[in-house]
């Protein structure tokens, strides 16, 4: 799920071209693979216990369909518009010690926007994320039967993620909002992930708090302006998920997971003043189907994340559907 | 498998090191605005704005000069009916327009491509009370080298006083409060 946090950038990164610039913030339950038991749930780019490394690749197709305004009312896009963003996300996780692991994820973003009066197709690197996770447990926390209170203990992870503005932001040398693939700010997120599997069921809870770092701005969409300092708002995200695993005869497994996520970002600041036009909220649901091989070394995922296009489910944010195809491989 | 792992890792690093990166990694606060020759024609602050003609969403022809003739200044806001635009326009309506009754505010729709589609977007977005120009061929957009959220202020002598992102509206208020 930390991936949810990391992906936020990408999504926002583009919103119609800019917001599209805003970015990128939302979430599709990530396609990141394996959690402590070796795969299947909708968690972050987190290594299974006792494995050495993992590579992950995922392709997102995000379709924009209206937005919530400041009052939480859902507003349609202009007539004749077709707004999409595609992302190829590459991730790598490495075990550092028995309880420590680190990961990096890098997205490449394609913006494809069509309005009645104009079309735009641009691409570029998105904002990248590096993460460090601590596992507060030593053994596998997945059980088949609860025989004692100890069997109820979840796997607990505590992590920190730094988003690095490697994407193209409004403050780069760009021509217009359609070129945007990143937000342009460093952000530090602290996360806690609790995960428990009692086969065939699993459940997870992730809570994250992120702070954006203030930066100087002297250019907007390629035009130099009077310099100012800008800071995006603090961010809170919570995600809950529950899943069921079905074991095939070959002992390969299929896991179906449902998730609900709530993301909020507070108002930002310009030269220390509150910027009332920024900040947002997005609530979304997701379904994840994961196939894992018997040894849990390969995991394939199909994710559908849906923002409910009704009043009251978000504020100041685009409503999108995100389809993700992903694959992870674990090195033991 | 270790070979595959390293290849993947290298791809990630190369991807991170390439691309159009970017001033964002080391942001600058240096003022790099270009010098402008006073009285020249153009879109930069201090230059004289050329006239333009466009239709509003009610089908009426509108020229910049005709609007300047009846107002202390004209404010152009470029919208693509997105969340950011909506937030800005809502703020303009509630926090700026009431304090400047002698200024004309025009929203410029540069994405819908027709007067009827611009009117549809305007009304479905809840801005039927605004004056919206249908910039069908993006001529006004190009004239001011604008993009989503760009806010342009032109005074009654056709001088461009502001041409930048709306942000929180503070800069717009400062410019309008400085009008004679």
- List the 78-117 stretch of A: residues with Cβ below 8 A of B: 78-81, 90-92, 104, 106, 108, 115-117
Q: Is the pLDDT of residue A68 over 80?
A: yes
Is A210 at the interface with chain B, CB within 8 A? no
Classify burial at B7, counting beta carbons within 10 Å of its beta carbon; exposed 0-12, middle 13-18, buried 19 or more. exposed
How does pLDDT run across A29-57, given as a tens digit for each residue?
444 433 455 444 444 688 888 899 999 99
ipTM of the complex as predicted: 0.85
- Tell me the torsion sign for CA atoms A65, A235, A23, A321: negative
Q: What is the largest CA-CA distance in chain A?
A: 67
Structure tokens at A98: 């028995």
pTM of the model: 0.85
- pLDDT in 10s for each residue of chain B, 180 residues: 554 555 555 555 555 555 455 589 999 999 999 999 888 999 999 999 999 999 999 999 999 999 999 999 999 999 999 999 999 999 999 999 999 999 999 999 999 999 999 999 999 999 999 999 999 999 999 999 999 999 999 999 999 999 999 999 999 999 999 998
CB contact under 8 A, B113 and A226: no
CB contact under 8 A, B148 and A215: no
CB contact under 8 A, A224 and B31: yes
Characterise B11 by phi-psi region: left (phi > 0), alpha (psi -120 to 50), beta (else): alpha
Residue among A292, A269, A298, A266 at smallest CA distance from A279: A266
Residue identified by tokens 């002297």 is A218
Q: Which residue of A has its CA nearest to B8?
A: A55
Q: Which of B22, B109, B139, B150 to mutate against chain A (most A CBs within 10 Å)?
A: B22
How does pLDDT run across A135-161, given as a tens digit for each residue?
998 887 788 899 999 889 999 999 999
Give chain A's mean pLDDT: 86
How does pLDDT run across A263-309, given as a tens digit for each residue?
999 999 999 999 999 999 999 999 999 999 988 899 999 999 999 99
Average pLDDT of span A227-250: 95
Pairing of strands A215-220, A201-212: unpaired
Residues of chain B found within 8 Å of residue A33, distances taken between Cβ atoms? none
Concatenating the DSSP letter of every residue in B43-110 gives SSTTSBPPP-EEEETTS-EEEHHHHHTTSSEEEEEEE-S-HHHHHHHHHIIIIIGGG-TTEEEEEEE-
Pairing of strands B160-165, A53-68: unpaired
Distance from CA of A150 to the nearest CA of B (A): 36
Q: Are B166 and B149 in contact (CB under 8 A)?
A: yes
Looking at the domain covering B53-177, what would its CATH class be?
alpha beta
- List the 212-241 stretch of A: residues with Cβ below 8 A of B: 215-221, 223-227, 229
Q: Which helix (H) or strand (E) holds A214?
A: none
Question: Which one of A90, A218, A220 has the shortest CB-CB distance to B12?
Answer: A90
Calculate the alpha carbon distances from A176 to A180, B111, B141 in Å: 8, 13, 11
Q: Which of B82, B85, B120 to mutate against chain A (most A CBs within 10 Å)?
A: B82
Is A126 at the interface with chain B, CB within 8 A? no
Is A280 at the interface with chain B, CB within 8 A? yes
Characterise B137 by phi-psi region: left (phi > 0), alpha (psi -120 to 50), beta (else): alpha
Q: What is the pLDDT of residue A37?
A: 53
């Amino acid at each position: 799920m930390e991936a949810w946090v990391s992906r936020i950038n990408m999504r926002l990164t583009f919103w119609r071209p800019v917001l599209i610039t805003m970015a990128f913030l939302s979430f599709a339950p990530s396609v990141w693979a394996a959690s402590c038991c070796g795969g299947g749930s909708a968690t972050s780019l987190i290594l299974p216990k006792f494995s050495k490394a993992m590579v992950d690749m995922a392709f997102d197709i995000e379709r924009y369909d209206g937005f919530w305004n400041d009052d939480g009312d859902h507003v349609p896009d202009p007539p004749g518009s077709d707004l999409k963003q595609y992302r190829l996300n590459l991730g790598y996780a490495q075990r550092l010690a028995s309880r420590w692991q680190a990961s990096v994820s890098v997205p490449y973003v394609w913006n494809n926007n069509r309005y009645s009066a104009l079309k735009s197709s641009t691409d570029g690197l998105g904002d990248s994320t590096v993460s460090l996770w601590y596992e507060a447990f030593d053994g596998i926390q997945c059980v088949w039967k609860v025989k004692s209170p100890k069997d109820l203990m979840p796997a607990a992870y505590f992590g920190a993620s730094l988003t690095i503005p490697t994407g193209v932001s409004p403050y780069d040398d760009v021509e217009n909002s359609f070129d945007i693939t990143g937000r342009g700010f460093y952000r530090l997120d602290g996360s806690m992930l609790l995960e428990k599997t009692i086969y065939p069921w699993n459940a997870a809870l992730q809570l994250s708090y992120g702070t954006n770092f203030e930066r100087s701005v002297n250019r907007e969409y390629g035009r130099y302006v009077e310099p100012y300092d800008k800071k995006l708002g603090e961010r809170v995200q919570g995600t809950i998920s529950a899943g069921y695993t079905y074991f095939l005869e070959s002992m390969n497994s299929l896991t179906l997971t449902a998730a609900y996520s709530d993301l909020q970002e507070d108002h930002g600041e310009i030269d220390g003043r509150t910027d009332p036009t920024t900040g947002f909220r997005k609530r979304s649901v997701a379904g994840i189907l994961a196939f894992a091989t018997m040894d849990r070394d390969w995991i394939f995922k199909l994710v559908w994340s849906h923002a409910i296009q009704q009043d009251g489910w978000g504020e100041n944010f685009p409503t999108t559907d995100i389809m993700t195809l992903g694959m992870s491989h674990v090195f033991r | 498998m270790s070979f595959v792992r390293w290849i993947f890792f290298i791809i990630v690093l190369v991807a991170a090191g390439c691309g159009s990166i970017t001033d964002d990694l080391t942001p600058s606060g240096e003022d790099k605005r270009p010098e402008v020759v006073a009285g020249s024609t153009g879109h930069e602050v201090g230059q004289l704005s050329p006239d333009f003609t466009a239709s509003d969403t009610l089908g009426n022809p509108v020229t910049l000069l005709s609007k300047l003739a009846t107002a202390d200044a004209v404010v152009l806001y470029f919208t693509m009916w997105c969340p950011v635009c909506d937030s800005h326009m809502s703020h303009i309506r509630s926090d700026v327009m009431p304090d400047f009754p002698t200024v004309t505010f025009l929203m410029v729709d540069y994405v819908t491509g027709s007067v009827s589609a611009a009117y549809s977007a305007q009304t479905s977005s809840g801005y039927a009370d605004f004056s919206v120009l249908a910039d069908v061929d993006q001529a006004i957009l190009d004239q001011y080298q604008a993009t989503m959220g760009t806010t342009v202020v032109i005074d009654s002598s056709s001088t461009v006083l502001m041409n930048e992102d709306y942000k929180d509206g503070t800069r717009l208020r400062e410019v309008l409060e400085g009008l004679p």
